[in-house]
Amino acid sequence: MVYKILIIGEGFSIMPIKKYSGTKKILTCLAAAFLIFLSAVCASAVALSYKDIPGIASYFFYTHVNHREFTEELYLRTVKNFMKILDPTKIFMLADDAAAFESEAKENVKQLMGDFKAGDMAFFVKIHDFFNRRLGERKLEIDAMITEDFKPLPSSETDSLDSPEAQLCKNTAELELRIKKILSLQFEGLKSSKKDVKEIVKKLKNRYKDAYAHYDKFDEVKVADYILKSFATALDPHSLYFNPEEIESFNISFKLSLEGIGATLKSEDGYTIVDSLVTGGPAEKSNQIKPNDKIIAVGQQNGDMLDIIGMDLNKVVQKIRGPKGTKVRLSILRESKVKASEQSLITIVRDKIKLVDQAVKHEIKEIDGKKYGVIKVPSFYEDMEGVRKHVAGAASCSGDVKRALEYFKETGEVEGVVLDLRSDTGGSLNEAVKMTGLFIKRGAVVMVKDSYNNVQELADQDPQQHYNGPLVVLVNKLSASASEIVAGALKDYGLAVVAGDSSTYGKGSVQTMINLPNDLGAIKVTNALYYTAGGASTQKKGVPVDIVIPSATEEFKSGEATADYALDWSVISSAIPKIALSEDISTRNGTLEAFLKDITENSKKRIEANPKFKELADKNKKKDEAADDEDTKENQIKKDDIILDEAIFILKDIKVLTK
C-alpha cells in the first residue's frame, strides 16, 4: 500500500486542480497526487470505533468507480493489507503466521464478512493480539542484538533488504538475519554522524523503545484506523482513509508559501520513498537525490539522525519540512542493478520553490540550417483564482504554450515543434484540455466515466488551430495524468508522433475527497476513470509511444502497473468523429500513420549508429557500478539531451516524408 505526500513547505499539502460542472453531475478531477477537498458540515467530534467502520465503508462503495459492494476478494485483500500495515518492515510476523490467518479468513469468509458489516472486528483484533505476542518475542531478540559487540554486516549482504520482492521470513533464522540487516543499516547511519559505539547503542535502544511505545498505545481507535486504511487500499492504490489527525495536518491552500525540499514522498512497506522531484525545487537542484531513493533516517542541521524505517509518513513529513534557508540531512538508500544497495548521507537546504522554475520554457534549435521549436512543459499549472477573476497575466501553462507557438511564428516559420512532457506528473485537467485545443480545431480531448457509467466529454470549443505542422510529443515513464491526456489525444487525432520511453506512467483514474460526519476524518475515493479522445484508458498501460528512444528513465521501477490492486485498463467508444459535420471540427488525420513505419525505421537506424546512445547506456551501467557522486538520471539527460536531438530528427523526417 502506498501513501504520497508532497513536501513543499512548513506545512505539507496536496495540490488541487479545478472542479468541473457537467449537466448531469459534478466531477472532481485529479491529476497525479492532486486533490480537491470537498467541505462538509461536521457534528461534534467522536472517537472512531469499530461500529463506525461499516458506515464509512458504505461511503466508499457509494462513490467508487468499480467496487459497489463488499465481496469476498475485498475482504481477503483487507486482511492481507492489515497484516502488512501492522508489520511494514517484516520483522515481527513469519510467513506461516500470515498464511494461517489468510487461510482462516478464506475458510470463514462469509461469516467474517457478516461480522464486518455488523461492526464486529473480532478477527482483526485477534490478528492484532497475535502481532503483539510476536512483538514481545522480537523485543527480547532485538534488545539482545543491540550491544557494543554488534558487528554490522557489509553492504553487499544488505542489498536485498529493500527489494520490493521481499517477503515475510519463513523461519526465525531468516527473521534474525533480516533484523540484523536492518540494525546494520541503522548502525552505519549513526556512524556516518560520527557517533562512537556507546552512543550508537544508546541511540538505537532509545529508538526501539520509542517504536515499542508506539505499538503499546494501540487501542480501538488505532486498530479501527488501520482496518479502514487496509480496506481502502484493497479497493485500488489511490483510495485512502485519513484519520482526523492526518486531515488536520493537510493544508491545501494554494496561497501557502512553497518552501521545503520539493519532493513527493510515498510510504511503501515501511520505507519512505522519493516518488518524484518538483522541477526547480531544492531536491532536484541538489543533484543528490532521485526518484525511487529510500529515505531511512532524517536529521536537522545539528543533532542526531532519526531512524524513520516503519514510521508513519505524516511524522516523516514533519521531520523533513521546514522554513527556507534551514538544512535537513537525509540518509539515503539507493538501489543498484548490479551491486549492493548503497547508503549515503546528504544535506539539502530548504528553499522557496520558484514558480518560474516550473513554468513552460521554449527555445529554437537549429539543425542543418533549419529551425525547430522546443516547448518544455514541467507541469500543468493554473492560477484558478486569477483565471476565474479574468486577471491579466494569470498563470496558465496552456497560455504559455500558446505564446511559445506565437513566438515561433514571429521569429520565422519553424520546420516543426517538439512538445516535451518528460517527467511532467500532471496538474490541472482544464489546462490539459486547453493545451490540446491549441493543436486541434473543435473536438473532444478526454472523456470521464463515473461510478454510474455516465460518460462526460471534456472538449475544446475553440475552432482555431494555433499550430498544424509536424509535431513530436516527447514522454517518459514519469509523464503522468494530464501529460498522458495531451499525448494520448494528439496521438488519437493523428497530429503527433509520440516518442520516448515505451509508455507513460499509466494513471488514468480520478479521485474525490469527502469529509466524514462527526469529525471521523475523510476518505479519498477513486470515483471515475478517464479515457483519451480515441476511447482508450491510460489506466495501468499508459500511452504507448509510436517510437521508442532509449533513455535512463525506461528502467525506472514506477508506474501504475507496479501498484497493488491497480484498476484494469479498459476502452470505450471513440469521441472523434469519422466525418466532420462542419469544417471547424477535428477528425483523425491519417497522414502520419501512412508514413509512421518509415519514420520509425529511420529513427532506429540513427539510434543504432549514434555513439552517444551507446555512451548513454554505458554511463547508466557505470553509474550503477560507481560508488561516488552519482548524478540523478534526469540530470544526466539534461547534460547531453540526445533524446531531444533524436526527437528533432524525427520532426525532420515528418517534414520530408509528408510534403
d(CA 305, CA 181): 18
C-alpha R_g of the chain? 26
Could you tell me which residues come within 8 angstroms of residue 336 by beta carbon, excluding any fewer than 6 positions away?
159, 342, 624, 625
* Sign, CA torsion 655/656/657/658: positive
**Centroid of chain to Cα 397:** 21
Which residue is it, cell 470505533?
49
d(CA 396, CA 399): 5
CB 303 within 8 A of CB 203: no
For the annotated catalytic residues, the residue numbers are: 481, 492, 507
Residue 210, number of CB atoms within 10 A of its CB: 12
DSSP code of 250?
Answer: B
Q: Which three cell numbers stand for residue 42?
A: 461536521
Which amino acid is present at 518?
Answer: N
CB 396 within 8 A of CB 451: no
Q: Specify the DSSP element, H or E, that contains 528.
A: strand 522-532
CB 6 within 8 A of CB 32: no
User: Helix, strand, coil proportions of the chain in percent (round to 5)?
Assistant: 40, 20, 40
DSSP code of 437?
Answer: H
The three-state (H, E, C) secondary structure of 565-633, written as one string: CCCCCCECCCCCCCCCCCCCECCCCCHHHHHHHHHHHHHHHHHHHCHHHHHHHHHHHHHHHCCCCCCCH
CB 440 within 8 A of CB 493: yes
d(CA 486, CA 568): 21
d(CA 623, CA 645): 23
CB 104 within 8 A of CB 112: no
DSSP code of 39?
Answer: P
d(CA 227, CA 41): 25
d(CA 398, CA 436): 8
The phi and psi torsions of 535 (rounded to 5 degrees) equal 105, -5
**Centroid of chain to Cα 342:** 23
Say if residue 554 is exposed, middle or buried (CB neighbours under 10 Å; 0-12, 13-18, 19+): middle
Q: Which three cell numbers stand for residue 461?
A: 470549443
DSSP code of 382?
Answer: B
SS3 371: strand
d(CA 554, CA 532): 23
In 32-179 the beta strands, taken as DSSP E runs, fall at: 37-38
β-partners of residue 437 are none
Say if residue 248 is exposed, middle or buried (CB neighbours under 10 Å; 0-12, 13-18, 19+): exposed
d(CA 446, CA 457): 6
